[in-house]
């Protein structure tokens, strides 16, 4: 997989004028107003994150060209003006996008294989087919390799409605890649799935992240998916969004995290420092901290490999002194930088340690009992760390 | 009881077949885009067009026939335009019958197609577009295969309905052998001249044909023309 990905990156177009998506969208329907001005990086997975009814799917549909804003708006992708202020728009089929949503978008009259072939046949526009220098087709995206990567080659002769929800989504993701898109749009692709299918689909999405050198927009209201998949995030609320930021930065921002549900936390990027097979642990180097212990799990992990760690705020507690008789492996000196409370008595402590940000969710009682203050030196006790994925 | 078909009767069989074939051809050419437009459109005038197309379902054929006869009169704008284009008259001619049949059978083509097109989820078409399929490509690669049964049923209904029409033909075609004398007219003529044995033959022929056609239509899995199913793999 690693070999394929590096092979693909060498095929990337060298020209690097303005790569990315810039949107300036204004629309109003009944009481709902959508105002979004944002820039998306061209090579990353950007989550559009917000609660139900915040306008995130509407925004995605407008980027896809499925619907049009009713106020003067602009959408520009890689120097192509998809939508001009005048209302002139590039048709959906000319935008070189792929779209995956929670309901099946597979063509019901075609088998899995024919669905793949449908995408391959249309992977290049008419103009491109005639041109000498075709848009490079990522070499790993062949029918065979996609079938294998997404574990669907045994389903080739089946029709979409004979597939489970998870299988349908994996086929849809594979088909999206085969259409050779320049941008992939996901609209809550796993929200309609049961736990098991959800897991296999998320794994497929992580694979896509590594395989495809294609930017993705990922609409979700689920902070776990955000932490697992996204590099950047655009928080959207009440139809308003303006800022695109790195997920790690967003998560360590207590205002953002308080607005999320209970499973808020941070993600840390690090490397495998050493593997302790005897105890089933790995030690990760993150920032200036040489060893953070986490459970190795079942995934194949090798020395020095980059990894992404997720630490929920609820799994971090605070002590004033370093306990030597604790079962907790990770007790790290930290400095409180911010204390934020919401109306439900949830208190979120932001701390700096090893040049990273940690969040701790504690009760207001603990805050008062320990009389915690901003700038105070404390010890962060981390009870649980999940190894999310190995990043390239 | 039955008498063998006369030469005149055989000419009527051929004429009826020809009228049904030609009309069905035009009906499909006109009905498919019309049904597609009605299925996708939110135009304010859509209910008006839907009602207009459905009129022949409830209007006595003689009413349609009467107005067509008036419109086909040689001094009307429609008749003169037609003559300048094709050099022939519409009233009491085969072309006139085709025009009448198209109007008369249009709902039988448009309604099953429209309801079949409406059942195709929008998201399927949008995702086909996102994969790079142009509108025409989308029609032939998605809409056409998903509505194959409805298309077949629409064509069969158009054919049978046209083959069996009587009131309009009587009004605008009269009974000119080889030109406008279709089977239902021949039957009427036989009955009027008390030639019951010939009437029996032709009535039985039409009955058998209609019954067999309906069996064919229903065996394609098609239920009723308002609930046209496109259950390809259900």
Q: Would residue B78 count as lying in a domain?
A: yes
**Can you give the residue range of the structural domain that contains B28?**
7-219
User: pTM for the full model?
Assistant: 0.75
- What pLDDT band is residue A362 in, cutting at 50, 70 and 90? confident
Token pair 């394609």: residue: B220
Q: How confident is the model over A216-252, as pLDDT tens digits?
A: 899 998 887 887 888 888 888 888 887 888 877 777 7
Look at residue B137 and tell me if it is in a domain: yes
Q: Choose the closest CB to B232 out of A98, A109, A181.
A: A109
pLDDT-derived band at A115 (thresholds 50, 70, 90) equals very high
Q: Are the Cβ atoms of B137 and A125 closer than 8 angstroms? A: no
Mean pLDDT, residues A6-17:
41
Residue B226 lies in a domain: no
DSSP per residue, chain B: ---PPPHHHHHHHHHHHHHHHHHHHHHHHHHHHHHHHHHH---TTHHHHHHHHHHHHHS-HHHHHHHHHHHHSTTSHHHHHHHHHHSS-STTSHHHHHHHHHHHHHHHHHHHHHHHHHTS-HHHHHHHHHTT--HHHHIIIIIHHHTHHHHHHHHHHHHHHHHT--HHHHHHTTT-TTTT--HHHHHHHHHHTT-HHHHHHHHHHHHHHHHHHHHHHHHTT---TTS----S--
Strand partners, B112: none
Statement: residue B230 has pLDDT above 60? no
What are A341's two structure tokens?
């409370």
pLDDT score, position A351: 85
The answer to whether position B227 is within a domain reads no
Cα–Cα distance for residue pair A109/B144, rounded to 1 Å? 10
Domain ranges of chain A: 2-251, 265-389
pLDDT at B114: 95
Mutation choice for A interface testing from B120, B128, B129, B131 by most A CBs within 10 A: B131
**A64 CB within 8 Å of a chain B CB:** yes
- Chain A residues with CB under 8 Å of B137 CB are 93, 122
**Residue A65 — φ and ψ, nearest 5°?**
95, 10
Domains A2-251 and A265-389 share a fold: no
Range name among A279-293, A295-309, B48-62, B124-138 with the lowest pLDDT average: A295-309
List the structure tokens of B171. 């009004």
Pair A361, A251: CB distance under 8 Å: no
Q: Which two tokens stand for residue B124?
A: 């399927």
For residue A319, the tally of other CB atoms under 10 A from its CB is 14
Please give the pLDDT value at position B98.
94
Residue identified by tokens 């694979």 is A207
CB contact under 8 A, A97 and B130: yes
Q: Which residue shows structure tokens 């944002």? A: A38
A229: helix, coil or strand? helix
Write out chain B residues lying below 8 Å of A123, CB-based.
132
CATH number of A265-389: 2.40.50.100
Element (H, E) at A333: strand A330-341
Identify whether the C-beta of residue A59 lies closer than 8 Å to the C-beta of residue A37: no
Nearest to A103 among B123, B128, B130 (CB): B123
Chain B residues in contact with A108 (beta carbon < 8 A): 124, 146, 232-233
Contact check, Cβ <8 Å, A122/B130: no
Report the pLDDT value the prediction gives residue A140, as an integer from 0 to 100.
59
**Which helix (H) or strand (E) covers residue A128, if one does?**
helix A126-130
Q: Looking at the partner chain, which of A91, A94, A161 has a beta carbon nearest the beta carbon of B233?
A: A161
What tens digit of pLDDT does each residue of A162-195 get?
998 889 999 999 999 888 888 999 999 988 888 8
Q: What is the mean pLDDT of chain A?
A: 81
CA distance B174 to B168: 9
**By the CB < 8 Å criterion, does B193 face chain A?**
no
How does residue A317 score in pLDDT terms, banded at 50, 70 and 90?
Answer: confident
Residue A134 has pLDDT above 90, yes or no: no
B196 lies in a domain? yes
Tokens of B40: 């996708």
Q: Quick one: pLDDT at residue A11?
A: 39
Alpha-carbon distance of A151 to A174, in angstroms, equals 10
> Where does the pLDDT of residue A298 fall: very low under 50, low under 70, confident under 90, or very high at 90 and above?
low
Q: What is the CATH number of the domain that holds B26?
A: 1.10.3720.10
Q: Give residue B202's pLDDT band: very low, low, confident or very high (50, 70, 90).
A: very high
Residue B231 resides in a domain: no
Asked if A311 and A295 count as a contact pair (C-beta separation under 8 A), the reply is no
- The residue of chain A with its CA nearest to that of B126 is A66
CATH 3.40.50.970 fits A2-251, yes or no: no
Question: Is the Cβ pair A64, B233 closer than 8 Å?
Answer: no
Q: How confident is the model at residue A99 (pLDDT cuts 50, 70, 90)?
A: very high
Q: What is the pLDDT of residue A2?
A: 36
Cβ–Cβ contact A103 with B under 8 A:
yes
> Is the four-CA dihedral A12, A16, A17, A19 of positive or negative sign?
positive
- The minimal CB distance from A108 to the residues B126, B130, B232 is found for B232
Q: Residue B233: its chain A contacts at CB < 8 A? A: 108-109, 159, 161-162
């Amino acid at each position: 997989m690693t070999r394929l990905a590096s092979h693909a990156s060498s095929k990337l177009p060298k020209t690097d004028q303005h790569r990315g998506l810039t949107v300036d969208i204004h629309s109003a329907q009944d009481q709902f107003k959508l105002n979004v001005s944002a820039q998306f990086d061209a090579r990353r997975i950007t989550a559009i994150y917000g609660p139900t009814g915040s306008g995130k799917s509407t925004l995605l549909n407008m980027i896809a060209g499925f619907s049009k804003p009713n106020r003067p708006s602009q959408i520009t992708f890689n120097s192509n003006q998809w939508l001009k202020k005048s209302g002139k728009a590039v048709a959906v089929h000319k935008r070189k996008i792929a779209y995956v949503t929670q309901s099946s978008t597979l063509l019901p009259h075609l088998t899995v294989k024919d669905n793949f072939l449908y995408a391959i046949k249309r992977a290049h526009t008419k103009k491109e087919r005639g041109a000498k220098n075709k848009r490079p087709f990522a070499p790993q995206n062949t029918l065979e390799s996609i079938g294998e990567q997404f574990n669907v080659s045994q389903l080739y002769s089946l029709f979409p409605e004979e597939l489970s929800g998870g299988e349908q989504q994996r086929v849809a993701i594979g088909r999206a890649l085969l259409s050779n898109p320049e941008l992939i749009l996901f609209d809550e692709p796993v929200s309609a799935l049961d736990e098991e299918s959800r897991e296999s689909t998320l794994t497929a999405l992580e694979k896509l992240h590594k395989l495809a050198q294609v930017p993705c927009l990922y609409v979700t209201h689920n902070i776990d998916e955000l932490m697992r998949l996204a590099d950047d995030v655009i928080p959207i609320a009440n139809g308003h969004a303006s800022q695109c930021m790195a997920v790690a930065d967003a998560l360590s921002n207590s205002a953002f995290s308080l607005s999320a549900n209970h499973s808020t936390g941070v993600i840390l990027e690090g490397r495998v420092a050493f593997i302790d097979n005897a105890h089933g642990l790995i030690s990760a180097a993150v920032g200036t901290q040489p060893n953070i212990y986490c459970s190795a799990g079942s995934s194949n992990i090798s020395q020095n490999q980059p990894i992404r760690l997720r630490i929920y705020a609820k799994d971090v507690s605070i002590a004033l002194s370093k306990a030597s008789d604790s079962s907790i492996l990770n007790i790290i000196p930290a400095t409180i930088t911010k204390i934020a409370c919401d109306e439900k008595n949830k208190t979120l402590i932001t701390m700096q340690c090893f040049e990273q940000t940690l969040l701790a969710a504690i009760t207001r009682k603990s805050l008062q009992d320990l009389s915690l203050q901003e700038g105070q030196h404390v010890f962060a006790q981390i009870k649980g760390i999940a190894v999310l994925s190995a990043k390239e | 009881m039955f008498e063998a078909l006369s030469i005149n009767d055989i000419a009527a069989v051929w004429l009826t077949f020809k009228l049904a074939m030609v009309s069905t051809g035009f009906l499909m050419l006109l009905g498919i885009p019309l049904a597609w437009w009605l299925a996708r459109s939110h135009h304010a005038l859509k209910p008006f067009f839907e009602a207009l197309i459905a009129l022949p379902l409830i209007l006595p054929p003689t009413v349609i026939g009467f107005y067509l006869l008036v419109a086909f009169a040689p001094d009307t704008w429609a008749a003169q335009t037609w003559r300048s284009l094709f050099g022939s008259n519409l009233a009491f001619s085969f072309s006139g019958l085709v025009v009448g049949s198209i109007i008369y059978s249009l709902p039988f083509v448009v309604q099953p197609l429209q309801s079949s097109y409406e059942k195709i989820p929008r998201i399927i078409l949008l995702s086909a577009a996102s994969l790079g399929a142009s509108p025409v490509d989308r029609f032939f690669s998605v809409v056409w295969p998903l509505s194959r049964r409805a298309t077949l049923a629409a064509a069969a209904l158009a054919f049978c309905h046209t083959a069996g029409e009587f009131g309009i033909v009587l009004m605008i075609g009269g009974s000119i052998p080889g030109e406008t004398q279709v089977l239902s007219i021949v039957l009427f003529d036989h009955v009027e001249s008390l030639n019951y044995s010939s009437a029996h033959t032709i009535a039985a022929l039409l009955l058998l044909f209609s019954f067999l056609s309906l069996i064919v239509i229903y065996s394609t899995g098609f239920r009723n023309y308002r609930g046209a199913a496109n259950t390809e793999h259900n």
